[in-house]
Amino acid sequence: MVDHYKGSFFGRRVGKPASPRQSQLLQDVMPQVALDLTQTPPENLAELFPVPVKSVCLEIGFGGSEHLIHRARENPEIGFIGCEPFSSGIIKAVSSIEEHGLKNIRLYDDDAGKLLDWLPAASLDMAYQLYPDPWPKKKHWKRRFVNQINLTRIARALKSGCEYRFASDIDTYVDWTLSHCRRHPAFEWSAECASDWRTPWHNWPGTRYERKAHREGRIGRYLTFLRVEETKT
């Protein structure tokens, strides 16, 4: 088991200074959509949203928020929780939420581990982790979010039979994630053929990190794991 490397799953948190308009949006919009972990979470996460939603998904580290916003716009009946500690990502998400009038998104701007611990057990219908920081140097691999402790956190929050999705263009992180998930008793890799992990999920919008990878000659891999109840032997 990899030890929990506290406070180090993400790098810097502050980017370029916010513009006056962005600062105003953060002041006006962020309090409406931000999760407050000092409050007790509702047993039914649908209650976090001001509009009716039939299911709730979590995106861990949404980056520039392209995927988060795309999914929220195409699925107004689904509630989305986006976690991103980097301030520029939060600014982009808040701007898009305001622009499109989205009511089915909630944001958290700190460590995803804290959020996962706050969520009720078996409350999520899906969890995504798309192109996370790969920490490519071997001496930094312990900083990778995917480890046995965090997978247990994800598994606790996911409903049985639901999916944890992971995408990366870094082969060592893909192999790392496969190894950790296949060793974890709560997850089962769903791939049946090569196209299952070479092909993005339905109506995939892509992300800016993915586009950068393609420009630099790297290919994304798309892994889907099912939350299972059986103990592997």
What is the three-class DSSP state of 202?
coil
Mean pLDDT value across the chain: 91
- pLDDT at 12 > cutoff 50: no
Q: Of the listed 36, 133, 169, 175, which one is catalytic? A: 133
How high is the pLDDT of residue 24?
A: 86
Question: Using CA atoms, how far apart are residues 199 and 220, in angstroms rounded to an integer?
Answer: 8
Instruction: Determine which helix (DSSP H) or strand (DSSP E) holds 105, and give its type and residue range.
Output: strand 105-108
Of 139, 205, 110, 210, which Cα lies nearest the Cα of 169?
210
List, in sequence order, every residue forming a beta bridge with 158; answer none if it has no partner.
124
Share of the chain above pLDDT 70, in %: 91
- pLDDT at 154 > cutoff 50: yes
Question: Using CA atoms, how far apart are residues 165 and 16, in angstroms rounded to an integer?
Answer: 30
What is the three-class DSSP state of 72?
helix
Question: Using CA atoms, how far apart are residues 194 and 197, in angstroms rounded to an integer?
Answer: 6
Q: How far apart are the first and last CA of the chain?
A: 17
Please indicate whether residue 133 is annotated as part of the active site: yes
The angle formed by the CA atoms of residues 83, 198 and 115, to the nearest 5 degrees, is 15
- pLDDT at 13 > cutoff 50: no
List, in sequence order, every residue forming a beta bridge with 107; answer none if it has no partner.
34, 82
How high is the pLDDT of residue 16?
A: 66
DSSP letter at 154 equals H
The predicted model gives 49-65 an average pLDDT of 97
How far does CA 77 lie from the centroid of its chain? Answer: 19
Query: Are the CB atoms for 18 and 86 separated by under 8 Å?
Result: no
Question: Using CA atoms, how far apart are residues 210 and 220, in angstroms rounded to an integer?
Answer: 7
DSSP letter at 128 equals E
- pLDDT at 8 > cutoff 60: no
Query: For residue 14, what pLDDT band results from cuts at 50, 70 and 90?
Result: low
Q: Directed axis angle between helix 87-100 and helix 66-74, to 10°? A: 30
As a residue count, the chain comes to 233
- pLDDT at 3 > cutoff 50: no
Structure tokens at 210: 């993915």
Please write the tens of the pLDDT for every residue from 85-134: 999 999 999 999 999 999 999 999 999 999 999 999 999 999 999 999 98
Query: Are the CB atoms for 127 and 150 separated by under 8 Å?
Result: no
- pLDDT at 180 > cutoff 90: yes
Question: Using CA atoms, how far apart are residues 5 and 112, in angstroms rounded to an integer?
Answer: 13
Query: Computed over its alpha carbons, how large is the radius of gyration of the chain?
Result: 17
Higher pLDDT among residues 94 and 18, named by residue: 94
Structure tokens at 180: 């950790």
